[in-house]
Amino acid sequence: MPGFDLRAALRHRELLLAAAIAVLLGAIAARFPGFVAPANLFGVFNDSAILIVMALGQAAVILTRSIDLSVAANVALTGMVVALLDAHHPGLPLALLIGVALLQGLGLGAINGWFVWKVGIPPIVVTLGTLTIYRGLAFVLSGGAWINSFQFSQSFLALPRAVVLGLPVLSWIAVAVVAVMAVVFGRSPVGRAWYAVGGNPTAAVYAGIDAGRARFLAFCLSGLLSGLCGYLWVSRYAVAYVDVASGFELDVIAACVIGGVSIAGGIGTVWGTLLGALFLGIIKNALPVIAVSPFAQMAISGAVIIAAVTLNTRAERKAGRIILRPVAGLPGRADRAPARATP
């Protein structure tokens, strides 16, 4: 009987992850049947909507062998700016505020991308620095004060909660972003460039792809979606303060990794990222229900991330490339095993 081939199985990562989600839901339902009620599952999806949107932006960055640690700080700063605008100028149209959030998020992402592309600073260093800068700017703008629900206009708070065809607008925004990203990743030149740059940067350059520009555009996308989530976060939770989404960048990266996006670049899909975010969202919603302590929740989440990285690494490991073969007719050569070199 042939042995189990892990790498072959992990080629169908989305199917395995969907099966893992089904098993997880079944285990939870055995103890709390109400958790898998359709209304509750829709609620879990709505709770995971912001994570899904941000994870798709992060996935584009990771595909290019980069990482964006500033996404949560982008959310905090952008959310603070639109919250201050709405609180002090309640007559401003909601469309204008959302436009400000998108443009500011795009600008913050472009700053990261410019330093990576034009200055040549490693992405982890750039985004670790801008993470601190963006948080600091949020404090400077607000003076450390909170903006609470009674200071917001009703239109500002209403949009994410409005229900259309049985789902909140927040959920529909996540669905729309998934649909758009499926086209961008799979059928657009920039999506193909991200995969090429992450898979083999040297070959991508020979193919005429500007690797720096591709990374810059990935950071711009990540910033744009983070800016959108800045408005969504503040309006949904009806509060803005400096530490909004603190540490959330780790959840965003975890969703990508669990969904099969390779930290080494060049591997990952929109659907895998979506499932990774949902898997993480289910865990975070289910663990409090079964009375798991917050500290144990952190340990479980960390264990899941390590397991996902381990599986990704094993699946991506390539066999050595044969560079020497036995030559027939030469004495002493026929019985030698071919030498192998790692790629």
Model pLDDT, residue 283: 86
pLDDT at residue number 269: 92
Among all chains, which residue has been given the structure tokens 């979606």? Answer: 225
CA 189 remoteness from chain centre: 21
* pLDDT at res. 340: 41
For residue 255, what are the CA distances in angstroms to 165, 212, 250? 27, 25, 9
Q: Could you tell me how far CA 70 lies from the centroid of its own chain?
A: 12
Q: Give the pLDDT confidence score for residue 284 in this predicted structure.
A: 84
Residue 84's alpha-carbon distances to 80, 100, 342, in angstroms, are: 6, 12, 56
Q: What is the pLDDT of residue 5?
A: 54
Q: How far apart are CA 112 and CA 128, in angstroms?
A: 10
∠ CA 36-42-44, nearest 5°, is 75
pLDDT, residue 333, reads: 45
Long-range pairs of 295-304 with CB within 8 A, sequence gap ≥ 24: 301/254, 304/254, 304/258, 304/279, 304/280
Is there a contact between 209 and 196 (Cβ–Cβ < 8 Å)?
Answer: yes
**Could you give the dihedral angle defined by the CA atoms of residues 209, 215, 217 and 222, in that order, rounded to the nearest 10 degrees?**
150
Q: What pTM did the predictor assign?
A: 0.86
Query: What whole-number distance in Å separates Cα of residue 338 and Cα of residue 343?
Result: 15
The rounded distance, in Å, linking the Cα atoms of 231 and 84 is 11
pLDDT at 207: 86
> In the numeric block, which tokens belong to residue 333?
């050569």
Strand partners, 168: 163
Q: Residue 319: its pLDDT value, please?
A: 44
- DSSP assigned state of 167: E
Over residues 217-267, the pLDDT tens digits come to 999 999 999 999 999 999 999 999 999 998 899 899 989 998 989 888 888
Q: What is the pLDDT of residue 328?
A: 55
pLDDT of residue 168: 94
Give the torsion through C-alpha atoms of 54, 56, 60, 63, to 10 deg: 110
The pLDDT score that the predictor gives to residue 184 is 95
Residue whose token pair is 């390590």: 306
Q: What is the pLDDT of residue 30?
A: 85
Beta strands in 297-339 (DSSP E): 321-322
**Residue ranges in the chain modelled with pLDDT below 70:** 1-12, 291-294, 297, 312-343
